[in-house]
Structure 1
Amino acid sequence: MISTLDGQHGAPAEKKPNDRALVLLARVAGCEPLIWRRLTVRESMWLHQLHDAIQIAFDWFDYQTHEFAIGNTRYGNPFKRDNIVIEDDRDVTLADVGLATAGMALYRYHFGEGWTVELQVEKTEPCKKNFSPPTCVAGERAGPPEDCGGVEAYNDMLACIKEPHTEIGQEWIEWLGPEYDAERFDINAINKALKERAKHEGKKDGE
């Protein structure tokens, strides 16, 4: 199931005349075979909107805490504790944080399970007329199921479901549900959810 993420966030950033499109390669670290997505996004979009797009692209549900690490700065749900400072990702755009210049970033999700998505800026290009990102243009394999236990548990899960005759294999299959397919990558469903999310934000902007 693809989540449209109905959480309350700010309005989408407006397109600027000199706005650029960024082509991002997003890879889930530690998973074999590799799980990845290629996304086109607008440089003027808010950083938290990139968070939303990543959640949708990997079919996660935004149940847990997240953060971006770009250079020496961390962005996400803002807080200060000891020597840790996380800036609010609702207050900055991809241009503000210099993502194109940095060329790469880390997106961390569900600190208890330790998911990391490696983000690489593959190229920048002028926004074409009627450019409507974020859009998923390529990818492979289903995202790791929410709350499956982290990278090690996920890799163990893949091995277990190949042996459905075993007790643990059957337990995983029942937990995942009959529709789960680790090899399935539904680009149409992802882009439909991204489009619905954009419409949802547009409606809030008009309220």
Structure 2
Amino acid sequence: MDFHKITDDEAINELIHQRYQRTLMLRALFGKEVAYTGLPFPERYAIEQHYMDSSTGTLREVVSLWLSRADLVPGRRSYDGVRGGRFIECKPTLYTGTGIVNGSGSINDHNDKRHKKFIDSNPLVQHSQFFYGIMAWIVEFPYKHPTFIRQMEKDLHKPSGRICGNFSYKHWIDCSDITVQYINKDIVNEYRENITGGRFKKVQSTYLYGWLMEQ
């Protein structure tokens, strides 16, 4: 296969094929030096370009769902994954050196109809965080968590235009039904100054860094 002559969609479809599952998992867990050992340059280049593309989180969604033992929902459906009959809305975030990590995510093109559908089906919202492509954590919480619902409805009532349901750790950290599917505390500590609450001398569990270190 000539990776230089295929479209983005075709490349992504090829990259999430089982042939590349091990490579993508290694990239997320241990970095590119480990993941790409022995791979020809065209394939290595294509994977990294798509994986680290800030304009699309498709491959990072795939890796997050794989690492949390969920199945992918094929095609352009309302949900990204499913596990044990429960649908999952996956929201990965990539840090590459700018800003402060605050457990944020966004449900793009949200609207009242979709919001009501999500309330009825109550999927899990999966938030995953990558630092330069390395996975730091995966957390899941139900869409119907009251604090999260209030934030979604606040955004839905904004003036017309493209509506995105934006959230941060403040809208899920108080959930009693939250699940930590994966956490790498070495990575969390390495980038603690870039995480909300990580610069405090006294670690506080009400802020994201302190909460993560308690898990």
TM-score bracket, normalised by the shorter chain, equals: under 0.3
- Give the TM-score normalised by the residue count of structure 2: 0.25
Per residue, is there more strand in 1 or in 2? 1
The higher-RCO structure (CA 8 Å, 6+ apart) is: 1
Structure with more of its chain in helix, by fraction: 2
Structure 1 length normalisation: TM-score? 0.26
